[in-house]
Amino acid sequence: MASTYNEDPLYRLLHEGEIDEFNRRRRAGERCDLRASELSGLDLRKLDANDMDLRDCCLHQSDLRGVDFSRANLAGCSINGAKISGTLFPAELGAEEITLSLLHGTRMRYRR
């Protein structure tokens, strides 16, 4: 269940479109908890998603073009209607899982 509000300062940066600042602060070692966060409709094209835990996030209608999620945890995420051209997903997510989430909003499950 995605939360509607997250008090984490880095979460707020994402919602304010401050992706470069978000990335800079994460690279500097600042931690954030984005699990089960509402990230729908955001432009996340410049996001450095390396080693991010995005379990159970709602990314509906977000712009994810070109984002490298290969080392992120997207288990339980939903990407209904997102823009995903050039997006790199974790190898553990099959194409069918990604397609079902993109078209129908199902939560993505990792292959075992």
pTM of the model: 0.91
1-112: what fold?
Answer: Pectate Lyase C-like (2.160.20)
Q: Any bridge partners for residue 68, and if so which?
A: 88
Statement: residue 105 has pLDDT above 60 = yes
| Residue 30 CB coordination number (10 Å) | 12
The alpha carbon dihedral of 103, 58, 93, 85 has a sign of: positive
Distance CA 83, CA 32 (A): 24
**pLDDT tens profile 35-44:** 999 999 999 9
Over 80: is that where the pLDDT of 1 sits?
no
| Structural domain boundaries in the chain | 1-112
